[in-house]
Structure 1
Amino acid sequence: MEFFKAIYLLPLTYIIFQLCKMVLQWRDQCCYMIDYQCYKATEDRKLNTELCANIILRNKNLGLEEYKFLLQTIVSSGIGEETYAPRNVVSGGEQCPTLPDALSEMDDTIYNTLDELFARTEISPSSIDILVVNVSLLAVVPSLTARIVNRYKMKENVKAFNLSGMGCSASLVAIDLVKNLFKCHDNAFAVVVSTESMGPNWYCGRERSMMLSNCLFRSGGCSMLLTNNRSLTYRAILKMNCMVRTHLGADNEAYECCIQMEDDLGYLGFRLSKGLTKAAAKVFTMNLRVLLPKVLPLWELLRYTINKLSNRCDGQNKVRGAGAAGLGLNLKTGVEHFCIHPGGKAVIDGVGKSLGLSEDDLEPARMALHRFGNTSAGGLWYVLGYMEAKKRLKKGDRVLMISFGAGFKCNNCVWEVMRDLDEKGVWKDCIESYPPKPQLVNPFMEKYGWINDESLSFIRLD
């Protein structure tokens, strides 16, 4: 009888919950995205196969095994030949970075994207009420937000925030900050700038767990314009439906799995430990347990509940069927697109497996990684840009953004597409060639694939 009571009460409880949520959402301020602009560096900063190998080989702190490790990592990284590096790295100055190098890198990314954003939206910088900049690895005085306020002569009462140390998911942290500020600022405009300082943080030591960042991270960034003005709904491209942030900083193992530190030789770098996979899986599952009831339809939640109760009645502990992170739920019943942070091939594969996604679902993240690499907090927007350039985003579609960051944290959100999107943006010059047919071409494998052959391990690198 308890089983049947649960079946009857669940729909009623869900309806009451949805009505309460609708009332609260109506009282709450909305968050619309008017436009976004990703950064694309100049051709002289491209990291082709030969240049990547040269950068590795000119590090005199490395031995044969370290050279081999780095080449093996690049070969299997899923990154192509057209990603971008900071100028000081391309020119050979990674071992002695200067503050002017760092500021030049930031100015190039930030001003390029903001100039284009203001021009496209025809919104004056003087109209901006909230400004949030997130750059994890660079803190300067005056702040980067102050440099922007000075450059664009923004008004004196602009609310400026400079976020640091938030890692690859900082973009969603910044947007969540804006969303909450909208609650006490009516009809406001907000700009979020997400990028990363790569030049001064190129690792020149020999610790393998710290060399990984050189193989994966590349130059990039994005600027976004948001508003809570309902009268501008017709101009919006996306509407924020919900966001869930989960932080495992209280767990020592999770806290230390992504951390900036010095190695034994005094070289500063970013260490990625073996505990990263475990921390990511744990925080991802915790996040989804909160997020999924907000986005999935009633019938999917009902199906899951019935299956779970049936399994208990049968004395089974395992939940049947494919689902999200082992929860037994099908996300595709509530989300049409999956915007996964292109942190690396392992990240994309892991998320895809845990959510039961197809290769078509993973294609945008894989292509963004191949074309632009891991651009840290800006990476999500290159993935979204790919979806838009491929004309996948239609009015009413929902996009789940999934991001992980140092701390360790997982920040996920769902956007609703407000109109059909087809801008090509930074993908304009190459979208027709993606995805490569018949399969993703790996130029590093073609030239350095022999590095994985154990029978050739006696070969010495000159």
Structure 2
Amino acid sequence: MAEIVPNFSSSVKLKYVKLGYQYLVNHILTFFLIPIMLGLLLELLRLGPEEILLFWNSLYFELVQVLCSSFLVIFIASVYFKSKPRSIYLVDFSCSKAPVSCRAPFSMFMEHSRLIHKGNTKSVDFQMRILERSGLGEETCVPPAMHYIPPTPTTEAARDEAEAMIFSAIDSLMEKTRIRPKDIDILIVNCSLFSPTPSLSAMVVKQVQAEK
């Protein structure tokens, strides 16, 4: 008889478990240091001023002990500040707007679909149902390659589309922020559907260097 695995997703929201675990890992040193500091504070409050002074005078500090203690404090502080999550700020942003010629209203999309899938009414009906539930509007744009009958989704067309969208957004962003290309240390370009070689990051760097 097969063992029935309990469905934990119905009783525990794994999303919050993951967030809690991530928070614990990011602040692990804080959780360790707080009980230690509280214990020392309670012990100092329990002792009187005379006992604290007597305890201080009874300590015998050597140079090696002082150096080791200082190194330990500096090491713990360094690890603590290095492990803290760094703040990331969005200074500004810019979006690329496609030209009006790329607009694809529902009527045009369905007309192209009927011409491409001529005789296949099931496929056309399926696309119509998906289109109605997708949340897309009449101002939705598609790449120029998708306006052909039949569509021509080639690598060159995809690269031309990427260049048009990325470069226009970068130019607009640099104009708004007045940032010079040499002031940028890290460039991240992410595209889920198109990953050419050379990469999109290399394409952007080459274009920016050519414009200098």
Q: TM-score, normalised by structure 2?
A: 0.57
**1:52 corresponds to:** 109
**Aligned-residue offset at 1:138:** 2.0
Cα distance per residue 1:338-385 (max 9 Å; x no partner): xxxxxxxxxxxxxxxxxxxxxxxxxxxxxxxxxxxxxxxxxxxxxxxx
**1:82 corresponds to:** 139
CA distance in 2, matches of 1:37, 1:90: 26
Change (3 A) 1:41 1:150: same
- Structure 2 residue 86 is the aligned partner of structure 1 residue 29: yes
CA distance in 2, matches of 1:74, 1:84: 14
**1:143 corresponds to:** 199
Point out the structure with max Rg over C-alpha. Answer: 2
Q: Which of the two has greater helix per residue?
A: 2
Unaligned stretches of 5+ in structure 2? 1-23, 32-79
Change (3 A) 1:103 1:130: same
CA RMSD of aligned residues (A): 2.7
Secondary structure at the counterpart of residue 130 of structure 1: coil
Alignment of 1:301-312 (within 5 A): none
Question: 2:184 is matched with which residue: 120, 128, 146?
Answer: 128
Cα distance per residue 1:84-106 (max 9 Å; x no partner): 10001123351x33332111100
CA distance in 1, matches of 2:121, 2:129: 12
**1:113 corresponds to:** 169
**1:230 corresponds to:** none
Please say if residues 118 and 124 of structure 1, whose CA atoms lie closer than 8 Å, have aligned partners that are also in contact.
Answer: yes
Change (3 A) 1:62 1:29: farther
Change (3 A) 1:62 1:125: farther
Question: 1:20 is matched with which residue: 26, 30, 38?
Answer: 30
Question: 1:42 is matched with which residue: 96, 99, 112?
Answer: 99
Secondary structure at the counterpart of residue 37 of structure 1: coil
Secondary structure at the counterpart of residue 139 of structure 2: coil
Over the matched positions of the two proteins, sequence identity in percent amounts to 27
Change (3 A) 1:84 1:28: same
**1:65 corresponds to:** 122
Paired AA for residue 114 in structure 1: I
**Aligned-residue offset at 1:61:** 6.5
Cα distance per residue 1:13-38 (max 9 Å; x no partner): x9xx79928x6589543211111112
Please say if residues 104 and 138 of structure 2, whose CA atoms lie closer than 8 Å, have aligned partners that are also in contact.
Answer: yes
Paired AA for residue 192 in structure 2: S
**2:45 corresponds to:** none
**Aligned-residue offset at 1:139:** 2.6
Change (3 A) 1:79 1:25: farther
Q: Which of the two has greater strand per residue?
A: 1
Higher relative contact order by CA 8 Å / sep ≥ 6: 1 or 2?
1
Cα distance per residue 1:195-242 (max 9 Å; x no partner): xxxxxxxxxxxxxxxxxxxxxxxxxxxxxxxxxxxxxxxxxxxxxxxx
Paired AA for residue 54 in structure 1: E
Paired AA for residue 39 in structure 1: S
Please say if residues 126 and 153 of structure 1, whose CA atoms lie closer than 8 Å, have aligned partners that are also in contact.
Answer: no
CA distance in 2, matches of 1:150, 1:72: 43
Paired AA for residue 20 in structure 1: T
* Equivalent residues, number: 137
Question: 1:100 is matched with which residue: 156, 171, 175?
Answer: 156
Alignment of 1:166-315 (within 5 A): none
Change (3 A) 1:74 1:147: same
Secondary structure at the counterpart of residue 55 of structure 1: helix
**1:91 corresponds to:** 148
**Aligned-residue offset at 1:46:** 0.8
